[in-house]
Amino acid sequence: MNKRKIINDPVYGFITISSDLLFDLVEHPYFQRLRRIKQLGLAEVVYPGALHTRFHHALGAMHLMSQALKVLQDKGHLIWEAELEAAQAAILLHDLGHGPFSHVLESVLMPGVAHESMTLALMKDINRQMHGRLDVAIQMFEGTYPRKFFHQMISSQLDMDRMDYLNRDSFYTGVIEGSIGADRLIKMLDVVQDQLVVEEKGLLSIENFLHARRLMYWQVYLHKTLLSAQAMLTQLLYRARELAEQGDTLFATPDFSIFLHNKFTLEDFIRNPELLGSFNRLDDHDVWASVKGWSAHGDFVLSTLSKMLLERKLFKISFYEEQPDDEILKPLREDLLNAGLSEKEASYFIITGETTNYAYEKEQDPICVKMKNDELLDIADASDIPTIEALTKIVRKYYVCWGKNVSLRQ
């Protein structure tokens, strides 16, 4: 069987699957599940075109990895064929651990189990099935491979993951400010002292990349309407879980039901391959099917939140510079109580939260620039544009979401 395939991608054109191993990974059920998980979760409530999946994104990140590795080879860096394949495999699988709606579901159904840890558990399970063919890829993903720059290409502030999701999310949402010119940025990459760096002539490309990331967070990832929808889904799942713990038999697919009725630790997944299988059978469709079923449930909170989410009747949301106090929250709570809700019911229709946005973490994970005199400088020090330093500052906003016009008297 010919396993060298090309895939037509709307962002980059043709993407090449260049080896038998990469083909086998794309064909694996763990990877195919990503077709059924949207990259941006509920973002379609704001941007109707944001229907792309983590499957698209993973293939795009693999494509950028292959381009970047070729650039490094052309600059005289020796990269073995096995390393080329392993690095592409690692970035291809880097999102395996995301559940339905990603961080929203993670916080409610699997608290304390980070998606990165789930990704590693799934990679190791595939490696077991493939008799060790992913040994090097796993080392690169974990950061234990001797050549550290490979891990930086998979997970850093200038990795192939970020380059693809900014380009791809910009393309599908239509937010053109997120477009980063990945081709030029990749051509400026180099390796110095086993560290991924950018040549000085790529300074403007990095600055554009960081600005684009900041703008995409405000305009897409932290858009107020998306935050409202995510808060509603979170409250909905909390209520479903509470009812399940009280013994209520909720409509749900078999695998989704397991996670509604139980709490698991990472060790549970590592010890029990069947549980990994249940996780792998979860996708966005499980959640939406359940929400549709719950819209007719007898519980007021569960059915109301389900109907509102299905009909896009979203909570109102307001932002504040400081954490909202009782002066803000009390009138909202009283409106719900006056509409006939109990204190317990009303608590599901008021949510407070906070958002943080910063484009560049200078202290934790610096982007280094190789100057013309071969000196290595942090991007914030190498750039003569003062806004780069400003991008390191954390901007924090607080918000309140509440259900307006929710009433038992409807």
- Judge whether 370 lies within some domain: no
Average the pLDDT over 151-155 and give the result. Answer: 96
Predicted pLDDT of residue 385:
65
Domain that includes residue 204, residue range: 5-93+134-221
pLDDT digits (tens, 9 = 90+) for 266-291: 999 999 989 999 999 999 999 999 99
DSSP code string of 336-397: HHHTT--HHHHHTTEEEEEEEE-S--TTTSPPEEE-TTS-EEEHHHH---THHHHTTSPEEE
Domain boundary among 173, 200, 221: 221
Give the predicted TM-score (pTM) of the model.
Answer: 0.94
Q: Is 341 helix (H, G, I), strand (E, B) or coil?
A: coil
Residue 83: CATH number of its domain: 1.10.3210.10
Residue 346: CATH number of its domain: 1.20.1250.30
- Judge whether 21 lies within some domain: yes
pLDDT digits (tens, 9 = 90+) for 201-257: 998 888 889 889 989 999 999 999 999 999 999 999 999 999 999 999 899 999 999
- Judge whether 121 lies within some domain: no
- Judge whether 295 lies within some domain: no
**In this structure, are 195 and 341 located in the same domain?**
no
Residue-wise burial string across 230-265, b where 16 or more C-beta atoms lie within 10 A, e elsewhere = bbbbbbbbbbbbbbbeeeeebebbebbbbbbeeebe
**In this structure, are 198 and 324 located in the same domain?**
no
DSSP letter at 53?
B
- Judge whether 255 lies within some domain: no
Domain boundary among 221, 240, 264: 221
pLDDT digits (tens, 9 = 90+) for 352-404: 999 988 777 777 788 999 999 989 988 888 877 666 767 777 889 999 999 98
- Judge whether 344 lies within some domain: yes
- Judge whether 82 lies within some domain: yes
Number of domains in the chain: 2
**In this structure, are 44 and 177 located in the same domain?**
yes
- Determine which of 79-83, 152-156, 207-211, 230-234 has the lowest per-residue pLDDT on average: 207-211
In the block, residue with structure tokens 């806004």: 387
- Judge whether 329 lies within some domain: yes
Domain boundary among 169, 195, 221: 221
Phi, psi of 241 (to 5 degrees): -65, -40
**In this structure, are 319 and 186 located in the same domain?**
no
pLDDT band at residue 2 using 50, 70 and 90 as cut-offs: confident
